[in-house]
Amino acid sequence: MGKNRSINHAQRVGKVANLVIFLGILGIILSILAMTTSQGLAHRGYGFTYLTIGLFMIGLGYGIRYRYKYCLYAAIALFVIFSCNFLFKFFIHHSIYLTLRLALCSWVSFRLIQSVSFMQTLIATNTFPDKSNRFMELLLKQKRL
């Protein structure tokens, strides 16, 4: 029960890549909803611009997954810019929504910055990030039963 699960460098970088891909997909879904049905989401900044950013995030996530360090650096820059933007907006508007977005972007930025050293280790050892997904593994287990 009290097992200490050690996560290697490939798993850590793979999880960060999956996180960036997930946030890109989430941004695309919210942008499509904003452009079709929800005016509330459109007023919060979702739309065609964020749709493009979501596609860019997916590309960066797959770049990280395939061990391109410049994609990792670009993802760090993107989420740090988002964090600064939401911090600036938070000082002006003081809303819970901006607080949540600021916390999420700051956390993702922190995780991306942590994975820089892991990515350097992967490049030095010529290994790739872990491409497994625990949700897909769970789905495949249920399918076999």
DSSP per-residue string spanning 80-97: HHHHHHHHHHHHHH--HH
The answer, yes or no, to whether residue 5 has pLDDT greater than 60, is no
Task: Note the pLDDT tens digit of each residue in 96-140.
Answer: 888 898 999 999 999 999 999 989 888 888 887 777 666 556 666
Threshold 0.85, pTM exceeds: no
Separation CA 121–CA 36 (nearest Å): 44
The answer, yes or no, to whether residue 2 has pLDDT greater than 50, is no
Residue at token pair 């820059």: 77
Separation CA 121–CA 143 (nearest Å): 36
Average pLDDT over residues 86-98: 87
Confidence bin at 61 (pLDDT 50/70/90): very high
The one-letter code for the residue type at 80 is V
Domain borders along the chain are 9-137
